[in-house]
Structure formats: C-alpha cells, structure tokens
Structure 1
C-alpha cells in the first residue's frame, strides 16, 4: 500500500515538474510576443489557437461531453487560466521585464495552496504554511524594492494574475480527478472559444509583425505549449500528487525562467533577483515535506 502511494506521489511530482519546465518559458515568450502584439489580441489569439487544437484532440480521441455539474468548474478554469492569467500577465509585461515578473511568480504556489484548501478540501500541515509564507514574504520584499518607472503597476497586474491563476489551478486539479488533465484544459478552452475568437477578430492588428519577428515565436510558444501542452502534465500532477503540495513546484519557475530570459531575451538579471529567487526556491523543500 505504501509503495503504491509512493509511486503515485512520485508520478504526481514528476508530471508537475514537466509542467513547470514547460511553463517556465511562458513569461519570456509572452514578453517577446507583446513586443509585436497588443495584450488583448495576444490573449485572444493564443486561446483561440489552443482551443482549435483541443477540439481536434477531443474529437480524435472521442471524448464524451462534460457532465452538467462540471460546467461551473470548467468556467472557473477558463476564467482563471485561459483568460485571466494570460491577459493580466501580458499587461504586466508591458510594464516590467520577464525577469521581474518571474520572481513575482513565487507567490503562485501560495495562491494555489489557499484555493486547494477552499475548493479542493486539502489540508496541509501547519508548517507547510510557514514555509510557503516565508517564500511569499521574500517575493513581496523584492516587489517593494523595485522602484523603476511602471514597475508598481506591473506588479499589481502580476499579483492579480497570480490570484486568479491559483484559483484556476486548484479548480482544474479537482476536476482532473474526474475528467483527466488534458480534457479539463481542452473543454475550458472550448467554452472560452466563442468569446476569444470574437475578441481576436475585433482586436486584430492592421499591420502584423514581420514574419521573422520574435513576436511570432513567442505567440507560437504560448499558444501551443503554455496554453495546452503544459497543462496536460500540470493538471495530472496536481490531481495525483495534490494541488497544495505539487503546486509548490511553481517555486522553481522563476529560477528556470530567469535563465531563459537572460539567454533568449538578453535581459539583465540582477543579484537581487537571483538572491530572491534562490530564497524562494529553498522554501519548496520545507513546504513539500509538510504538504
């Protein structure tokens, strides 16, 4: 029995880690994409592209329609991770660098854990909240230390994105136990498709960026990997290993994303950013132990 539980836990954390690795490129890719696309259009078109892929998968694999009692949860997932987080993070990235936004992402595991308790009925131990709280305080201190022009507005956008994303993660994790991880994100995309497709048409730019532009590469990444493929592993990991515990793997995302931002976007990564990121990542060890 214990061996089976250990294997299940390992599978959950393994899938979650793969999801985090894929998501680590999301903010650098979004930063590249907003260099050529309006944030509202970017949010709409990435969801539309991912929804069309989701419909293809659902049709080819002959998936049954979700039950009526699952619709509300799917709407919450759609609002959280299909619309809310992509739009708010895109707006944030017009005010700050991808490196700054990635450090703020250290708060996301706490947001996910809170909603895992409220929506998923999970009950982490008291010390779990101590380690998660320390991580969030480090992130808050870093955010307050940034006094560059526009960074406060960007931080507010990013924190709002993190709150609504945590809700979408926790709700999707609970629903994935019944529907499956990739089915949850696919159906959520389908529900959002009419609004997102209409918005994409209305907000389409008159002059599209040059075809060789990095904006197109960023759009392709966030549409396929950030909006769909990453969730296949992420929701399975949250469902199997527990949203509160596995959600702490998001503490690794700033570390991985900072490296990508430095390598791909040539953005400066200050010593303050690195210290904050290392401190936040260290908190996952204690949080995992008591999740």
Structure 2
C-alpha cells in the first residue's frame, strides 16, 4: 500500500471512529430510558440486555443471509467468543444494572477510563509492549475513577463504593476485551461481519431469555414509549450498526490510535443526558471527567502506536484465505 493511500485510509479510520463514538455516546442515556430507575422502574435490566442482543442478532442474521456470508474459519472462533462475552453480554448487562441506581452522567465519568482499559487489554491480550509512562497514566486514570466513585458515595451518605460503581468498572473491563477481540478479527472478516457473527452467536441464548423475561401484562402497561425507544436504540445502534463504523475505524486507523477518539465520549454522553433524561451537569462530574480524559490523552501520547491497518499484536496475522465471495 502506498504512503498516500495509507494516510487516506488512516484519516477515514479516524472519522469512522468519531462516528462510532458519537453513536455509542447515547448508549448510557438510552439504557437508562429503557430500564428506568429504582424509584420508577421500566424494563428490567435482564430483559433489556437479552432484547437488545436479540434485536441485533436478528438484524445481523438478515445481513449475513443477504450478503451470503460464509461461516467464520476455526481460527476466528476464540476471538468471536471473547467479543460475545465482552460486548454482547458483559457490558450491556453490567451497565443496565448500574444505571438503575446512578445517573448517566455518573456512568460517563467512570466509563471515561475505557480508552486506557482498551489499550491495556490490547497490550496484555496481544503481547504488545507499552512504555512505563503509559502504564503510569493508566494507574492515575483508574485512581481518579476510584476517587470519584468514593466521593460520590460519601456525598450520598454511604461509605466505600456503591455497588453500581463496581458494576461500571466491570463493564469497562468487559468492553475493553470485546473491543480488542473485535478489532483483531476485522482484517480477516470485515467490520460488518465481526459484529454480525458476534450477535448471531448470541441468538441461542438471547431469544430464550427474551421469552423468559418478557414483562407481564401489568408491567407492560406501565412501560412508557421512551423506554421502548431506548431499547430499540441500544439494540439497533449501540449493539449493531455503531460497531460497523467503530471496528472499521479501529482496523484502518490502528486500535491504539483510534481508541483516543473515545476521549469525546464522556462529554457527549453528558450532553445527551441533559435533554434525554433531564439530568444536571455538576462541577464535580465535569472536573473528574476532564481529569480522566487528560490522563487518557497523555497516556495515548506515550503509547507505542501501531501502524494503521496493522494487526494489534504487531505481528502479521495468520494467513486465512477468505471463502469465495467474501470481501474483507
């Protein structure tokens, strides 16, 4: 690939990453719309998790059938299962449970550490080496998130950490692993097929759980239209179409480089939470979000960037001949 073409591909990857982050930024407000709060519950977190996965799975199945996509190769399954566990199950369920008791603004601050977690997951899972400065920034960012959660618990009259904060930290870990696994597969399968196969693999679990957790008639009558709209968004966009742009951006722009775009997400989430949920932006949340984003920015500058389009582990991927008709 020529240098000019490579630079153009990297720029496109960056803007695809921006688009993906903008779409993902609405995930927390949309999830809170769907689940409601402990005081005013709407759909249960379990049902929201299963239903969003089922909706994305059905859309993915239609896409794969229409494009006549072949089955993934045996070498792909390990990464696909990691992506399913992180993106399809772990992150959505933990976030849905957490947002019953904390605001989307609060969640945005905790999830602001996700870019560092993604880069750390790439380093640990794929054998990348990072500079000491990067790991120091990662520790500082994590410490800021822990301090914010602690102060919030104290302000609410609690001691230690709220259970929701532990759930959010678990969601960060799950998403980071899922992002890296998906990006590792994108050069072979293509961004669209990565997310589609991931969602289709979840159908045998998500469809029965939707039926099991389907709200009773009395509960269904109390569910407001915004809750259903939030559920459709997290299923059709957050779980499916948003990843088309995001995985492609990670692949073309380089996972470590493009993941820096996630710096925008906490602030976009906060802005979306104001009109969608009527939440208030407070100085403490904004200050900690800015501090965490600063550590992420410095950490990204100190990281060892991969070449755009290169495999995340710095080695050439195993050569896998794509089946006939498959375009990466």
Q: Return the TM-score normalized by structure 2.
A: 0.83
Query: In the aligned structure 1, how far is the partner of 2:126 from the partner of 2:75?
Result: 15
Which residue is 1:128 aligned to? 134
Cα distance, 1:234–1:149 mapped onto 2, change above 3 Å: farther
Which residue is 2:119 aligned to? 113
Which residue is 1:168 aligned to? 178
5 Å matches for 1:117-266? 117-147=123-153, 148=156, 152-207=162-217, 208-209=220-221, 213-266=225-278
Query: In the aligned structure 1, how far is the partner of 2:245 from the partner of 2:221?
Result: 32
Farther off after superposition, 5-14 or 37-46: 5-14
- 1:117-172, CA deviations, whole angstroms, 9 ceiling, x for partnerless residues? 12234444443334444333322221221112686100011111111111011111
Question: Given that residues 113 and 145 in structure 2 are in contact (C-alpha distance below 8 angstroms), is that contact kept between their aligned partners in structure 1?
Answer: yes
The SS at the match of 2:112 is: helix
How far did residue 179 of structure 1 move?
0.6
Measured on the aligned residues, the alpha-carbon RMSD in Å equals 1.9
Question: Given that residues 107 and 139 in structure 1 are in contact (C-alpha distance below 8 angstroms), is that contact kept between their aligned partners in structure 2?
Answer: yes
| Higher Rg of the two aligned structures | 2
Cα distance, 1:164–1:212 mapped onto 2, change above 3 Å: closer
The SS at the match of 1:65 is: coil
How far did residue 59 of structure 1 move?
1.1
Gaps of 5+ in 2: 37-41, 304-328
Q: Return the TM-score normalized by structure 1.
A: 0.93
Cα distance, 1:126–1:10 mapped onto 2, change above 3 Å: farther
The SS at the match of 1:146 is: helix
- 1:93-119, CA deviations, whole angstroms, 9 ceiling, x for partnerless residues? 112111101110012112211111122
How far did residue 5 of structure 1 move?
3.6
The SS at the match of 2:162 is: helix
Cα distance, 1:245–1:123 mapped onto 2, change above 3 Å: farther
Query: In the aligned structure 2, how far is the partner of 1:282 from the partner of 1:163?
Result: 20
Question: Given that residues 248 and 284 in structure 1 are in contact (C-alpha distance below 8 angstroms), is that contact kept between their aligned partners in structure 2?
Answer: yes
Query: In the aligned structure 2, how far is the partner of 1:60 from the partner of 1:125?
Result: 45
Question: Given that residues 113 and 245 in structure 1 are in contact (C-alpha distance below 8 angstroms), is that contact kept between their aligned partners in structure 2?
Answer: no
Which residue is 1:29 aligned to? 30
Cα distance, 1:40–1:290 mapped onto 2, change above 3 Å: same
